[in-house]
Structure 1
Amino acid sequence: MLTNSRGIAFILALAISALVTAFLSLIDSANSTILLVAGGLAFSASFLLVNITLEFLVFREIGNIYSLLEKIQKKDLSEISDKSSKSSISPLRRINKVINSYALARQKEIETLQKNAEFRREFIADISHELKTPIFATQGYIHTLLDGAIDDKHVRMKFLKRAAKSLDSLDVLVQDLLTLNQMESGVIKFTFTQFDLKDLIIEVIDQLEHKASKRDVEIIFEHEENTPYITSADRQKIYRVCQNLIFNAVKYNNNKGQVKVTLKASKSSIQVDIKDDGQGIPPEDLKRIFERFYRVEKSRNKKEGGTGLGLAIVKHILEGHKSKISVSSTVGKGSIFSFSLPLVKPVVIESKEAIQKS
């Protein structure tokens, strides 16, 4: 009976009613009817007040605390919600909120640990796969030579070249991993200089023109001829960003397709858009294409080559410039990769004659 609010309220109400009745019995004018009515009113009022107080300020809050502690014990934190804090006179409500906040913090910590563990598993699986391919290829060529093929000069040179090519791919992969790790840890510093972004993109296009011509892919560069696109950035790293994005636009484009690079200058920034008319990227892959080793249609991309780290490096380089890479894509129509850099307005130096005239 004493384990719930009604039982305790009943006993307290009886005690209060008895005290009131006893006090009134000391008055000479109080008869039995008055004592009975007063005792009944005292019991009813006391029962209601005590029951409501215990139910809402004590037992309900204790029940919530027990329920919360049971969920924490069972590690079932999925149903715990961050309720809006309301002022309450109950100290138990405040205790409940503290425990709830702790449980939510633990839930977020567990979710973060689970995501990190999943990322580590995927990363180890991906890097193992990426390293296995060139290593196994090189092993195959070398063991074939050791088994007697080395005596054939033609076979020897062909297999040595293939082994060297596999080792070169392995070296590129390791260098990209080191670069990405150094960027994430802040070891690589950025050297900011002022340069014309238009000239840099022209250099990249000239370098990739031969690869584009092999697939009959046309690269179009749209910009205003007499407009300087001066920016302040790390030229070498921005060169790598443009090289990677334009190369991908060529590589994943359709044969006889078109890559359009557009420069747009506003009051304070320069926007670079790189558009292709290839197969596009499915919506479920858009959020993950900047992750390490993530590939859309892995079998096709593996055939195309690359380390799978290019877009991850692009993302980190632009973040180091306080910029972001964005992408929009439609399956079957192509993709557009965009980023922006600050626009530096050229300083106009007046000639001596103009100064003298003024």
Structure 2
Amino acid sequence: MESDEKNQNGRKKLGGSNYLNKSCWLIKNLNYAPYKRCQYCELKFRNCLFLQYQVVSLFLMLLFFSAFLLIEKRLSLLAITTVFTLVIVYGYFFNRSTKSIIKTDFFLKKTKNDLKDLADNLEKKVDEQTRYIKDKNIKLEKLLKVQSEFLDISSHQLRTPISVIKGTAAMLAAGDMDNLSEEKKKEFYRSVYDKGLKLEKIINGILRASEFDSIGFSLNDKSPEIAPEDVIDSAVEEARMEAEQRKIDLIWQKPATPLPKICGEKSILIEAIGNLLSNALKYTPSTIQIKEARNKREKKGVIKVEAKKEKDDILIKVSDNGIGIPKEEIGKLFAKFARAKNATEMYTDGSGLGLFIVKEIVNGHRGKVWLESVLGKGSTFYISLPIVNKK
């Protein structure tokens, strides 16, 4: 059906069988082309070559007919017949020549237009291909940059725990552990266990980031309704032990009344809030010396989690009184492998994937994530998630 309409529209163009020259007075009034040549013509009626021929022919015929009536005796019938015959023959060849001229002119114009269209399309395609290559080049440069950053991080983050595990295993194999006290042995075993956990966390982070990069994450129609308090309860409980070990107060200010439900994947949202809590614990100096961290302080560290309904969203807030983030680095922290300079100085371990994963999870839940921070005073991270629409 569509192809028939396209063909019909094509025939209405200049040169098509149904083409009507609206510039021509005759065709406009007749609403059809009286001659085949008309389908190639764009001239106005007064400029029509065939019309001019007809006018001249009519004039000649009238002239000779008048002459025949006026001077019948002097002008033979043969002469009149000859003139009429010549006019008809001339008209036949004139008709063919004008048709050929008009048709040739049409095809010249058509060829010129086709060449112009071809040149324009070729230029357009060249521009499109150039833009495509530039885009691919930019993406490739970004990919190479990410790969370089990943290798830099991996060379340090993965090498350190592997070295500890290998060293301890070598001591066990050589029997060096036999000469150590039970307390010292436990310290080595604990170190191996901690480094194993760190390796697991880094690898899981890399796999999760790769998953979001390749297939992304988004809610579907079957995603269940969940209570925000349940998500936060689980995330806080998972972080509770580490907070106690670091002597940091972890406060979850649970709302007095139940919050409206949100739609989402509970385990993934727990991971997102857990990443925020993990960062808060890392970059809030403790009153005791932590092996991985480079500083401690007298003021007690406090991490506070809050949640409330705000318009059509649930707003979750994770705040701390840690080292804060330099203003110029806030905008880039949700990028892959991004870490603030002061964070690296305080805590050498870290893949820079945690906040990237948080952003991907929250975006997949049709929410928003952002932060506010004052250097030296602490940071506050916000997650906004839409409430389930009951309509």
TM-score where L is the length of structure 2: 0.56
121-130 or 246-255: which moved more? 246-255
1:178 aligns with 2:207: yes
3-state DSSP class of the match of 1:287? helix
Q: Tell me the CA shift for residue 147 of structure 1.
A: 3.5
1:338 aligns with 2:382: yes
Opposite residue 310 of structure 2, the aligned amino acid is S
Higher alpha-carbon Rg: 2
**Residue pair 1:198, 1:229 contacting (<8 A) in 2 also:** no
Q: 1:224 to 1:147 in 2, by over 3 A?
A: closer
1:301 aligns with 2:380: no
Q: Say which of 112, 117, 121 aligns to 2:139.
A: 112
- 1:141-220 residue pairs with structure 2 within 5 A? 141-152=168-179, 154=181, 158-186=187-215, 192-220=223-251
Q: Tell me the CA shift for residue 238 of structure 1.
A: 0.9
**Residue pair 1:222, 1:260 contacting (<8 A) in 2 also:** yes
Q: 1:139 to 1:225 in 2, by over 3 A?
A: same
Q: Tell me the CA shift for residue 158 of structure 1.
A: 4.3
Cα deviation digits, residues 86-107 of structure 1 (max 9, x gap): xxx9x99998887666655544
- 1:1-358 residue pairs with structure 2 within 5 A? 103=130, 106-152=133-179, 154=181, 158-186=187-215, 192-222=223-253, 224-254=255-285, 255-296=299-340, 297-302=343-348, 305-344=349-388
Q: Tell me the CA shift for residue 265 of structure 1.
A: 1.2
**Residue pair 1:197, 1:230 contacting (<8 A) in 2 also:** yes
Q: Equivalents in 1 of 2:266, 2:242: separation in Å?
A: 23
Q: Equivalents in 1 of 2:218, 2:352: separation in Å?
A: 23
Opposite residue 287 of structure 1, the aligned amino acid is G
Q: Equivalents in 2 of 1:260, 1:114: separation in Å?
A: 40
Opposite residue 303 of structure 2, the aligned amino acid is V
Q: Tell me the CA shift for residue 344 of structure 1.
A: 2.5
Q: Equivalents in 1 of 2:209, 2:138: separation in Å?
A: 25
Aligned CA RMSD, in angstroms, stands at 3.4
Report % sequence identity: 27
99-108 or 243-252: which moved more? 99-108
Q: Tell me the CA shift for residue 345 of structure 1.
A: 6.3
Q: Equivalents in 1 of 2:217, 2:135: separation in Å?
A: 31
Q: 1:140 to 1:270 in 2, by over 3 A?
A: same
Paired residues, what number?
Answer: 257
Q: Equivalents in 2 of 1:341, 1:229: separation in Å?
A: 11
Q: Equivalents in 2 of 1:92, 1:188: separation in Å?
A: 43
**Residue pair 1:277, 1:334 contacting (<8 A) in 2 also:** yes
Q: Tell me the CA shift for residue 241 of structure 1.
A: 1.3
Q: Tell me the CA shift for residue 208 of structure 1.
A: 3.1
Q: Tell me the CA shift for residue 281 of structure 1.
A: 0.9
Q: Tell me the CA shift for residue 110 of structure 1.
A: 3.0
Cα deviation digits, residues 124-160 of structure 1 (max 9, x gap): 2222222111111112222233344043363555434
Q: Equivalents in 2 of 1:273, 1:209: separation in Å?
A: 17
Q: Tell me the CA shift for residue 319 of structure 1.
A: 2.3
Q: 1:292 to 1:225 in 2, by over 3 A?
A: same
**Residue pair 1:145, 1:156 contacting (<8 A) in 2 also:** no
Runs of at least 5 residues in structure 1 that lack an aligned partner in the other structure: 1-88, 348-358
Q: 1:260 to 1:169 in 2, by over 3 A?
A: closer
